[in-house]
Chain A
Amino acid sequence: MSDKKTILICEDEIPMLETLANKFRNEGFEVIEARNGEEGFKLALSKKPDLMLLDIVMPKLDGLSLMKKIRDNKWGSDVPIVLLTNLSDAEKVSEAAKYGVYDFLVKTDWRLDDIVALVREKLDLNF
């Protein structure tokens, strides 16, 4: 079981965080949950996940600022990051692209299975 992939989910809406986390656990992932940007940053540095799913609008530290902090850190320069959002602002997409985002998902457009499939594809998983 040591080759289980770890993902960190940072989301301030508890129902969304729980649903996503449970879904990924059911699909065989190790999941770390964070409820705001600051907690996400600390957990990311200490647990070093294989991939991060970040909400954008969050208290304390928003998703884009968190992403920038992660990228500025030696460990986080190339960890895959997927942004989850309800906004579809062109500005934010291009800003996120500057920090090397893997994908930018509008929550209402994505089913859970499709999010899992996207993460698997990025992590090259075939299970």
Chain B
Amino acid sequence: MRETKFDTIFDSQKIFRTLLDAFAHPGKVVKISGLRIGPPSGISKASAGVLFTLLDLEVGFAVSTCDKKQSEKIAEYFIINTGSRLKNLESADFILALGELPELERIKKGSLEYPDEGATIVYAVEEVNEPRPFYLRRDTTCQKGRGLSGIDSVRLTLTGPGINGERHLSLKGLKKQEVIKIMEVNKEFPLGIDFVFTDRKDKCFALPRSTRIVEVKEA
């Protein structure tokens, strides 16, 4: 459980720079690779790496998943490796969400004087992709509904600080309804929640509260 090969100085530094790049360019897909860690089943190395980089005893975290046993195991893994404290959703600074989005209204959004006290959610989904430019893309209408059977997919169009015009993204493992909840919770900027989406292949992107989702389509 105890990760001895995670370099708290240099691995953290690299992951932080990748995250910073992601937050500065919302929707840009980045990769966190090369980590020599073995997180418990259900979470990717990227999710673990992000939290290793940001958690310590001065902040609290929560794990949001329907599987209570899995949740306990994951929580223990982060307590041992970061010294951070387990909290409930209402008071956590960082939330690792697996499988489903937690109830966003329970999570800290900061105050108008101190909006930075809003939480950060690391949400593990199936797959995140930047669509290829339209001129290289095959006819997307044919693919509709054909994707991986049973897995929800959405396409997002983003705009806001960090984005030159618009940015497009496709996600597997996220429902349209969940995207609408995210739009809802971040509509009172500067109050809000910042998101990092991670996928099974250790790809990630950030969705800070300043980003506006202008279009969401089921793909």
A is bound by B:
no
Which residue numbers of A lie inside 8 Å of B, CB to CB?
A: none
Which residue numbers of B lie inside 8 Å of A, CB to CB?
A: none
